[in-house]
Amino acid sequence: MRTPEDFHWLSRHEPLDDIYCVSFVRGLSPREVLRRFGVDESTLEEVTFDELSVRSAENAEDAAGFVGAVRIGEWTMLVEPGGWRLAVVAELGARVSAGTEAVSVCRHDYAADSFTYLAGGELVTHFDPMAPNARSGGDPDRLVAWMREVGLDPDSDDAAQDDADLTLRIPACFALASRITGLPFTPDLLELRFLGAEPLDQ
């Protein structure tokens, strides 16, 4: 069972920089996840993670300029370098999660971080890791037991957390995502080849 300590590599190596969204979508191919996300299919190509990051930065406006997806078991991992859309845009989340489920962890250096869990096109649980007591969604308490296990106190807000707690918030969110998906999020996953494309709506 994954713990927040398993995800400290994100802050040590910073491969995703300070703004990103990593999502996991069950049972869909990378091509289908990208289609639902809304990409220019004429730009589809296989890329490395480094190429994905460079393309995203080159094409970015106010969100990821290039997104990538890769199959891991029964899930597809979608990475938005410099992006945030799947975690926070309701219409997009509904479209991607229709008939299945999706979980997103969004890190945003100068806006709000977020954890989002969707199922069947509906928002189940959403919260800012700095204020896990302020949850929204159709079933905001569904993940409460797991939140406690990974150190996201569902009764606390940022005023009640010390600095050490806050540095663990994104690793804790990835540990929570791992409870849902059964997947790790390890550095070697970023060594895989991604199917990438330019979003139609940035």
DSSP E strands: which ranges in the chain? 19-26, 45-47, 67-72, 75-81, 101-108, 114-119, 122-127, 194-197
Mean pLDDT, to the nearest integer, of 42-66? 86
The per-residue pLDDT for range 131-167, each reduced to its tens digit, is 899 999 999 999 999 999 998 989 876 555 544 455 6
Residue 202 lies in a domain: no
What's the CA gap between 16 and 18, in Å, rounded?
Answer: 7
- Tokens found for residue 87: 């975690």
Residue 62 lies in a domain: yes
pTM score of the predicted model: 0.90
Q: What is the largest CA-CA distance in the chain?
A: 49
**Whole-number mean pLDDT of the chain?**
86
The per-residue pLDDT for range 158-186, each reduced to its tens digit, is 555 544 455 678 889 999 999 999 988 87
- Whether the pLDDT of residue 202 is over 60: the answer is no
- Tokens found for residue 178: 């791992």
pLDDT of residue 10: 60
Residue 90 lies in a domain: yes
> Is residue 88 exposed (0-12), middle (13-18) or buried (19+ Cβ within 10 Å)?
middle
- The dihedral built from the CA positions of residue 67, 21, 3 and 126, taken in this order, carries a sign that is negative
Residue 144 lies in a domain: yes
Percent of the residues in the chain that have a pLDDT greater than 90, as a whole number: 55
Domain count across the chain: 1
pLDDT of residue 158: 57
Range of the domain at 22: 4-197
pLDDT of residue 189: 79
The larger pLDDT score, comparing residue 150 to residue 30, is at 30
The answer to whether 63 and 88 have CB atoms below 8 angstroms apart is: no
